Amino acid sequence: MRAKDQIFQAAVLGTAAFKNGVKCTPCLDNQLMSMLAGRQIGETPKGEAKSVKLMKVWTENWTLANLAA
């Protein structure tokens, strides 16, 4: 999956997590964590988004959904 698509998916997952009652903790989202499966710390496969970027986007969108509610 391309970096842009991964970032969009992380945003969607963060919003969905809030709506599903998941705490604001990205590691509790199994779908997000499956996107990071097999990566070592600091490792980003070519063409993919950094792990920390995906977690930040997830958290930002969880927070935005919380504020909107």
**From CA 30, how far away is CA 67, in angstroms rounded?**
23
Q: Model's pTM, two decimal places?
A: 0.93
Quick: pLDDT tens for 19-35.
Answer: 999 999 999 999 999 99
Provide the CA 7 distance to its chain's centre, in angstroms.
7
What pLDDT band is residue 50 in, cutting at 50, 70 and 90?
very high
